[in-house]
Structure 1
Amino acid sequence: MWAFHTPQPTQPPSLFNPPRTPPKLPSSSLTLNPSISNSTPNHNQLIQSLCKQGDLKQAFKLLSREPNPSQRTYEVLILSCADQNSLSLAQSLHSHISENGFDQDPFLVTKLISMYAALDSLDDARKVFDKTRKRTIFVWNALFRALTLAGFGEEVLGLYRKMNRIGLPSDRFTYTYVLKACVASECMVSLLNKGKEIHAHILRHGLEGYVHIMTTLVDMYARFGCVAHASFVFEKMPVRNVVSWSAMMACYAKNGKPFEALELFREMMIETQDSAPNSVTMVSVLQACAALSALEQGKLVHAYILRRGLDSVLPVISALITMYARCGELELGQRIFDRMEKRDVVSWNSLISSYGLHGYGKKAMQIFQEMIHQGVSPSSITFVSVLGACSHAGLVEEGKKLFDSMRKEHGIHPSVEHYACMVDLLGRANRLEEAAKIIDEMRIEPGAKVWGSLLGSCRIHCNVELAERASHRLFQLEPHSAGNYVLLADIYAEAEMWDDVKRVRKLLETRSLQKVAGRSWIEVRRKMYSFVSVDEPNPQIELIQSLLIKLAAEMKEKGYSPQTKVVLYDLDESEKERILLGHSEKLAVAFGLINTKKGETIRITKNLRLCEDCHSFTKFISKFSNKEILVRDVNRFHHFQNGVCSCGDYW
C-alpha cells in the first residue's frame, strides 16, 4: 500500500519560460479566425484547434503566450498528450497547470490522472492524487479506474477502505471500479468475499437498477467461477442490455456450462429483438458451440455473423477458427485463417492451438515459425499453445528448445502455465524424473497446474512414488478438488494396491467431495444430447444398452478385450464389464450409430480424459461399422477410422 505524499514545489520547465521577444509564428502554420484576431489575441481557441490538428508542439508554443488558459484548453492539451503518447510534454503541461493554479481543479485533476494512466505512468498519477486537497468522488474514481486497469486490484480496495473511513459516499461508478478491482489481479477467496461485501453495499443503497453495476457483478462472479451467484444476479436484473446478456453467456461458456450458454442465446434472440447481439456475444456463443462440438449450430452462428457483418472483427474470426477446429473441421478453420486480410497474435494462437488439439505438433511448430517470420511477436499464450502441441505429439526436444527460447529470444519469462506444459510434455514421454527436476528448480512457486500435470503423467505411467508426492501438494493447494483424489485412486488401482484405494475413497467420503461425473455430448440433426456415466431417463436408453451388449459380444470374438483395470472397485470381472458399458462415451457412440445416416460422421465431446477401454472400444466400432468417429476429450482430438486412432495410442 502506498502513502499520501506532501506536495513538493516544482520549477517551471524551460518550455514555458517565454523569451523576451515573442517569436513570430509561421504564416502557414495557423489559420487565424478573424473573429478572435485582435490586438490582444485570445489564444485558447487557436490552441484547441492546433491540438485537434495534431500539432501539439505548436500548441505548446502558443500556450506560452496565453496569460489566461481556460479549463477547456488544458483539457484538450491533456487529451492530446495522451493521444500522442508523450510523457515529457505531459509532465511539462502538468507543471504549467500547477503554476496557473489549476492543479486543485477537480475536473482537471481527474483528466491528469487518466492521462498519466494512459501513458503507463502510475507513479505520476498517484502523485497527482496525493497533491490534491479537494478530493471529490470523481477524483477517487479516476485513480480507482487507473489502478484497476493496470491490475492493482488490492491497492484499489485498500484505498476504497480509506475513502469509506473518511465518510465520502460512493457513486455508481465507484462500485463498478471496485468490483473490477476484485478480479484485477489474482482471483483469491479473500477478494471474492470483498466482492460479496460490495454486492451487499449495492443492495443496501438501492443501486440494483443500474444495469452497468449489475453486469459488472455478473462478470465478477463469473471470473471466480461462481456461476450460481452470477445467474442469481442476472435473473434479478430489472433491466438488461446486450452487455449483460453477453456477460452471462460468457460466464456459462467459460465455466463448463455450454448448454446453458446456447439456451441463453436463444432466449436473448427472443426477448431482445430491438437489441442485436454484438461481437462479444458472438464470441461467447462460438465458445459454447466449440465446447460441445456443435458443428451444425456453429455453422448457423457463422451464417448469422456474416449477415450482421461481424466477420471483420478479429476476436470473432479467431473464435470461428477455434470453433471449427474443436468441432473436428480443422480445414474449415484453416480456410478462414487464410482468408483473413489482417491477423493479430490471437488469430495465430487460435490456429496453433487448433493443430495442437488434433495432435499435429510439427504443423503447429511450422505455423509458429511462420508467425515469427511475418513479424508477429509471440505472446505468453502463444507459447502455451505451441508447447501444448508438442506435448500431444511427443515432440520433447523441440518443446525444450521452445521453452528455452522464450526468455532468451522473446523476453518472455515462463509462468506457471508454461512450466505445467513442460512437466506434461516430459511426463507423457515417461521422463518423469526429468519432469520432477523441473519442478524442483522452478524460480516461482509451483501451483496446482504444475503438480496436476505431474500427477496426470503418473496416472499414464503408473508411477506411485511421484504420484504420492504430487497428490500430497495438491491436497494442500486444492483441498476441495475431488479429481486429484480420484487420480491417485486410479494409480493405486492400476498397481493393485486395493487398501490404498479404499483409503483414498474414504478421504473422499469424510471430506464430502464428489467426483465429477463423466459426461459426453453428441449433436444429431442440430440438436444436442447429453449422456452421463449413470442410468438416466432417455427414450432410447434400452435400445442403446442392448446395442452395446450386442456389440461387446461381437467384438470379443474379433479380439476386443475389456480393460477392466480402469474400474476402481475390487469386483469380479463380469461386474466390471457391466460398469464399463455404462461409460458416457459408449452411450453416446451407440446413440450416434442408431441415429445417424450411412456415411455421416459421429462427433462426441467428453468432459474428462478418454479412458483406455473406451478408446479401445471405439477403435473396434470404427472398424466394423465403417463409421468415422471423432471424440474430443479434455486433452485432445481422437479421429477413429478403420480401427485406428489419430493419436497413435499416445494421449
Structure 2
Amino acid sequence: MARQALRVFDNHHILNSLDTTTTSLSQTRQAHAQILRSGLFIDTHFTTKLLSLYANHLRFSEANLLINSIENPDVFSFSTLIHAYPKLGRFGDAIVLFSRMISHGLLPDTRVVPSVIKACSGLSDLRAGKQVHGFCVASGLCQDSFVQSSLIHMYVKCSQLRYAHKMFDLMIQPDVVSCSALVSGYARQGYVSEAKMVFGRMGELGIEPNLVSWNGMVAGFNQSGHHLEAVMMFQKMYFFGFKPDGTTISSVLPAVGDLEDLLVGVQIHGCAIKQGLGSDKCIVSALIDMYGKFACTMEMSQVFDEMPHTDLGAYNALVSGFARNGLTDEALEAFKQLKDQGLELNVVSWTSIIACCSQHGKDVEALELFREMQDSGVKPNAVTIPCLLPACGNIAALMHGKAAHGFSIRKGIMDDVYVGSALIDMYANCGRIRSARLCFDRMPVRNIVCWNTIMGGYAMHGNVNEVIEIFQLMQKSEQKPDLITFTSLLSACSHSGLTEEGQRYFDSMTKEHGIKPRVEHYACLVTLLGRAGKLKEAYSTIKQMPFEPDACVWGALLSSCRVHHNLTLAEVAAHKLFELEPNNPGNYVLLSNIYASKGLWKEVDRVRDLMKSMGMRKNPGCSWIEIKNKVHMLLATDRSHPQMAQILEKMETLSMAMKKLGYLPVTSYVLQDVEDQEKEHILCGHSEKLAVVLGLLNTSPGSTLQVIKNLRICGDCHTVIKFISSFEHREIYVRDTNRFHHFKDGLCSCGDYW
C-alpha cells in the first residue's frame, strides 16, 4: 500500500514538473528517462506532455521517435504535433502525421482538422486539401464553422475561388474572417465585380467589415494591377470612418505611383503623418518608392532623411528610386553609405545596385559589385542573375557570364525563364550564338521573352535564316508573336539586304497577326530600304507614316545617307533630328562626316562650331576586350594603356605585312582635312584595332578574340581585321552598334554589307 502511494506521489511529481513554458530541453529529456524507468510510458498524459515539450524545443526528430514508440497512441498524441507543425512551417510533416493518425483508425476532432487544412494552404497543395475536404464531408466535420473557414482560406490560397465561394455559401453563420478572406482572394485575382459583390453582401449578412476586410480590398486590387480601384477603395474606407493603418497606406501608395497621380500621393502622405504613421518603416519605404516613380528625388531623399531610425528596406527603396531615374552616381553613393553604416545588406540591396549599374552603362562596376556580394556571404538568387548578365553581355565579359551560368546550374535556378532568357542574351551579346541556342533548346518552359531573345540574338549576328526558322517554330508551338518579334525579323532582313522579305513581314503584321506597327517598326523599315540604297523609298515611307516620325526614324535615314553619300536627304534628316534631339552630338557628327566625305570643309567647320557653341563634344570611339577575366577599355587615340608601346609596335609590323600583300589604308574614312600620312596615323588609333592587337599580344596563338565597340566599325578597320584573322589564324568577333562581325580566314560574316 505504501509503495503504491509512493508511486502515485512520483507520478504527480513528474507530471507537475513538465511545465511547457519553463521546462528546459535537458529537463525534458531527464523527465523522459524517469518516465521510462518508472514504467509510466503507457500513460498518455505523460507522452502527450513530452511530445508538446519536444515540439516547443523544435526537437521534432525526438518527438517522432517518441510517437513511433507508443504502442497505442491516441488522438491527443497526434494532435499535439499536428498543431505544432504548421505554426513552424513544417506543413508536409503535419499532413504526413495526419495520414498516420487516420491509418490508426483515430477520428480527428474539429480542432485538429483546421491545422491540417492550414498545412495544405501553406504548401498550396490543392490535391491534399481536396482530400481533407472530402474526409471532412464523409465524417461530418464539415459542419463546423472553424473547419469551413479553414477550407475557404485554403481554396483562396490555392486560387480556387469558385470552390471557396461555394464553401462560403454553405456556411450557416458566415463570419468576418471568412468574408475578408474571400474578398481579398477575388481582389488579388483581379475579379473586381466579384470582390465588390461579396464585400457588399457583408452588410446584408449582418457582418461589419473590419480593417482587415478593407485592407484585403486595397492590397488585393493593387496586387492585381487595378490601381484606380485600390485608390477608390482607400478613399471609400476613409469616408466611412475607418482609420487606415500601416498596411493600408503601404498598400495604396504603390497604386498611386502607378496611376501617376502625385497630388493623391501627397494627400495620402499627409494622412499618414496625421495618423502618426509617418515613421512606420513600411510606409517610409512605400513613400520613397512612390516619389521615385514621380521622379521627385528631392522629396524622396527628404522622406528618407526624416526617418528616426535607419532601416534597410527604406535604403533599398532609396537606391531603387535613384536607379529608376538614372541617377547612378547617387545610387552608388547611397549604397556606399549603407555599407559604411554597418547594416547587414540583403539580397535585395545587392540586386538593386547591380541592376542599377547594369542598366545605366556601369557594367564593370556591376561585375565588381557582384564579386563583393559573394565575398560578403550574400547568395544571389533568380532575380540577381538576370540583372547581372546584361552587364556581362554589354562589355563581352564572357568568362564572368559563364561563371554566372555555372552558379545558376549549381543553385538549381536554370529552369527559371528569366534566368534562361538572360543567359541567351548574354551569350548572343558575347558572340557565342551557338551557346545561346543551346540554352534556348534546353529550356523546359519558354515564354515570349525567350523566343524574342534568341531571335534578337540571331538578328544581331546577321543570321536571317535562323531568325526565320525560329519564327516558324514559334508559330508551330502556338506562341503568338508580339511587337518585339517583328522588330527582330525586320532587323535580320535589314542586315542581310532582304528588302522584299522584310517588306512582306512588315505588311503581315497587320494583315495576318492583327498587330499595328509602331514607330520602331517604321524605323526598321527605313533602315531596311536605306541600307539597300533605296533612299527615296525610305523617305517616302517616312512621309506616309500614320504618326509623327521620331528621332529613331530620322536617325535611320541619316545613317543610310552617310553610307550612300546622299547629301540632300541627309540635310533634311539632320535638321529634323536637330529639332527632336538638340543636345545629341551624334547627329551633328554624322552630318559633319557626310560633309567631310564630300570635301565640304567649310560646312564641316560650321557644324563643329555649332557643337562647340552648344557645349557638345563628339563621343570618343571606345572598345572593350576581356583578357584573362579582366576587361580592358581602350579609347581612340588614347596612349595611356600600359602596353601601348607594344600595341603600336605590333600594329606597325602588321601594317608592313599588309602593304607587302598590296593593302593600302582606306584614308577616305578619316574625315579630317589633313595629309595622307597623318590620316594613316589617325587610322592606327581606332579603338577596335587597338583592342584586337592587345588581344593578340596577351592570348595564346589561335585563340578567339572578342571586341565590343561603342560606335559603328569603320571600313578601314573592317579590312584590317579581316586581314589579321587570316594572317594570325584567329577567329575575331567584333560587335559594333549595328551588329556582330565574325572574322575568320580573311572573311567577315556580314559579307561586307553593314
Instruction: Classify the TM-score, shorter chain.
Output: 0.7 to 0.9
Select between 612-621 and 549-558 the one with higher mean Cα deviation.
549-558
CA contact (8 A) 2:188 2:219 kept: no
State the partner residue of 2:244: 136
Q: Map residues 386-425 of structure 1 onto 2, 5 A cutoff.
A: 386-425=489-528
CA-CA distance at 1:57 after TM superposition? 4.6
Select between 126-135 and 348-357 the one with higher mean Cα deviation.
126-135
- The 3 A distance-change label for structure 1 pair 221 and 429 is farther
State the partner residue of 1:342: 445
CA contact (8 A) 1:180 1:220 kept: yes
SS at structure 2 position matched to 1:279: coil
- Answering whether residue 298 of structure 2 is matched by residue 196 of structure 1, we say yes
- The 3 A distance-change label for structure 1 pair 609 and 142 is same
CA-CA distance at 1:509 after TM superposition? 1.3
SS at structure 2 position matched to 1:488: helix
- The 3 A distance-change label for structure 1 pair 638 and 142 is same
SS at structure 2 position matched to 1:521: strand
State the partner residue of 2:360: 255
- Answering whether residue 335 of structure 2 is matched by residue 226 of structure 1, we say no
SS at structure 1 position matched to 2:750: coil
Q: Give distance in 2, aligned partners of 1:295 and 1:61.
A: 55
CA contact (8 A) 2:413 2:419 kept: yes
Select between 158-167 and 384-393 the one with higher mean Cα deviation.
158-167
Letter in 1 for 2:314: I
Q: Give distance in 2, aligned partners of 1:604 and 1:197.
A: 43
Select between 174-183 and 534-543 the one with higher mean Cα deviation.
174-183
- Answering whether residue 680 of structure 2 is matched by residue 571 of structure 1, we say no
Instruction: List alignment gaps of at least 5 residues for structure 1.
Output: 1-26, 185-190
CA contact (8 A) 2:702 2:728 kept: no
Q: Give distance in 2, aligned partners of 1:447 and 1:633.
A: 23
CA contact (8 A) 1:102 1:108 kept: no
Q: Give distance in 1, aligned partners of 2:290 and 2:506.
A: 32
- Answering whether residue 616 of structure 2 is matched by residue 513 of structure 1, we say yes
SS at structure 1 position matched to 2:183: helix
Question: Which of residues 647, 662, 678 in structure 2 aligns to 1:559?
Answer: 662
Question: Which of residues 407, 415, 420 in structure 2 aligns to 1:317?
Answer: 420
Question: Which of residues 185, 191, 200 in structure 2 aligns to 1:95?
Answer: 200
Question: Which of residues 593, 596, 600 in structure 1 aligns to 2:703?
Answer: 600
- Answering whether residue 591 of structure 2 is matched by residue 483 of structure 1, we say no
CA-CA distance at 1:378 after TM superposition? 2.0
CA contact (8 A) 1:283 1:316 kept: yes
CA contact (8 A) 1:605 1:633 kept: yes
CA contact (8 A) 2:691 2:707 kept: yes
Question: Which of residues 200, 206, 212 in structure 2 aligns to 1:107?
Answer: 212
- The 3 A distance-change label for structure 1 pair 53 and 307 is closer
CA-CA distance at 1:219 after TM superposition? 2.6
Select between 542-551 and 139-148 the one with higher mean Cα deviation.
139-148
SS at structure 1 position matched to 2:631: strand
SS at structure 1 position matched to 2:639: coil
CA contact (8 A) 1:610 1:633 kept: yes
Deviations 1:2-50 (A, max 9, x none): xxxxxxxxxxxxxxxxxxxxxxxxx979639878958x99965565466
State the partner residue of 2:307: 205
Q: Which has the higher contact order (CA 8 A, sep 6+)?
A: 1
State the partner residue of 1:31: 137
TM-score normalised per structure 1: 0.86
- The 3 A distance-change label for structure 1 pair 408 and 234 is farther
Deviations 1:304-359 (A, max 9, x none): 22222221221111122222222222212212222222211111112111111110
Question: Which of residues 347, 350, 370 in structure 2 aligns to 1:242?
Answer: 347
- The 3 A distance-change label for structure 1 pair 428 and 112 is same
- The 3 A distance-change label for structure 1 pair 255 and 51 is closer
- The 3 A distance-change label for structure 1 pair 46 and 312 is closer
Question: Which of residues 618, 631, 644 in structure 2 aligns to 1:528?
Answer: 631
SS at structure 1 position matched to 2:665: coil
CA contact (8 A) 1:286 1:319 kept: yes
Select between 348-357 and 414-423 the one with higher mean Cα deviation.
414-423
State the partner residue of 2:88: none
State the partner residue of 1:24: none
Q: Give distance in 1, aligned partners of 2:204 and 2:575.
A: 63
Deviations 1:347-405 (A, max 9, x none): 11121111111101121022012111101122332222222222222222222222233
- Answering whether residue 356 of structure 2 is matched by residue 356 of structure 1, we say no
CA-CA distance at 1:648 after TM superposition? 1.1
SS at structure 2 position matched to 1:388: helix
SS at structure 2 position matched to 1:311: coil
CA contact (8 A) 2:428 2:436 kept: yes
Letter in 2 for 1:650: Y
- Answering whether residue 731 of structure 2 is matched by residue 625 of structure 1, we say no
- The 3 A distance-change label for structure 1 pair 497 and 102 is farther
CA contact (8 A) 2:316 2:349 kept: yes
CA contact (8 A) 1:114 1:146 kept: no
Percent of matched pairs sharing the same residue:
39
Q: Give distance in 1, aligned partners of 2:538 and 2:292.
A: 32
State the partner residue of 1:146: 255
- The 3 A distance-change label for structure 1 pair 61 and 468 is same
Q: Map residues 275-314 of structure 1 onto 2, 5 A cutoff.
A: 275-314=378-417
Select between 436-445 and 62-71 the one with higher mean Cα deviation.
62-71
CA-CA distance at 1:646 after TM superposition? 0.8
Q: Give distance in 1, aligned partners of 2:233 and 2:208.
A: 8
State the partner residue of 2:47: none
Between the two proteins, the alignment pairs up a number of residues equal to 610
CA contact (8 A) 2:136 2:142 kept: no
Structure (1 or 2) with the larger CA radius of gyration = 2
CA contact (8 A) 2:328 2:357 kept: yes
Letter in 2 for 1:136: P
SS at structure 2 position matched to 1:31: helix
State the partner residue of 1:643: 746
Letter in 2 for 1:440: K
CA contact (8 A) 1:113 1:146 kept: no
Letter in 2 for 1:255: H
Q: Give distance in 2, aligned partners of 1:73 and 1:571.
A: 84
Select between 502-511 and 550-559 the one with higher mean Cα deviation.
550-559
Q: Give distance in 2, aligned partners of 1:383 and 1:319.
A: 20
State the partner residue of 1:163: 268
- Over aligned residue pairs, what C-alpha RMSD do you find? 3.0
CA-CA distance at 1:86 after TM superposition? 4.2
Letter in 1 for 2:202: I
Q: Give distance in 1, aligned partners of 2:538 and 2:595.
A: 21
CA-CA distance at 1:93 after TM superposition? 0.7
Q: Give distance in 1, aligned partners of 2:187 and 2:613.
A: 58
- The 3 A distance-change label for structure 1 pair 437 and 220 is farther
Q: Map residues 428-439 of structure 1 onto 2, 5 A cutoff.
A: 428-439=531-542
- The 3 A distance-change label for structure 1 pair 100 and 545 is same
